[in-house]
Amino acid sequence: MDDRDGRTAGFTLIEVVCVLAVVALMAAVSLPAMSRQTSRPRLEAYALEAAALLKADRNAAISGGLAITTRVDARARTIRSGTSGRVVRFPDDVRLETVLPRNCDDRPSFDSISFFGSGMSCGGVITLTHLDAGYQIRVNWLTGRIEVGSHAGVTQP
């Protein structure tokens, strides 16, 4: 299509390069922010890592025939092994909630899960959620068995 002077209408190379530069700049600013959020697979990996730490403490209690206590600090967003001192930390965008017994083996235990040489435990539930995804780590009080399952119907304010 020609305009009045006889020149062809269209985009110049400079205009196209400027538009591409603006798009690249927007992508460079927005992509790192999106990647910092915890994805569903990463949330599941956190749940499995926490379960592995709990299982290691349970196995140490059984093999040593003694009580091992795993500390769960919801405010600090950590779980600390009672045998190795290993810590699992959760990012700020993951909600950590617990349901733990008030006492265990005649001792206060608001922030811990204890395992005994018999394989038994005081039990508890640790729930990790992010947006619409959630996982629960359940410790059976009678058997000490640790299970990880999805936690459906989660919404985070």
Domain ranges in the chain are: 40-150
For the cut 70, the answer to whether the pLDDT of residue 24 exceeds it is: yes
116 contacts 135 by C-beta, under 8 angstroms: no
pTM of the model: 0.74
Of 68, 76, 65, 82, give the one whose Cα is nearest residue 117. Answer: 65
Residue 156: predicted pLDDT: 44
45-57 mean pLDDT: 96
Q: Please give the pLDDT value at position 35.
A: 57
Q: What is the rounded CA–CA span in Å between residue 81 and residue 51? A: 11
Tell me the pLDDT tens digit for each residue of 1-16: 555 665 666 678 888 8
Looking at CATH, the fold of the domain delimited by 40-150 is given as minor pseudopilin epsh fold (3.55.40)
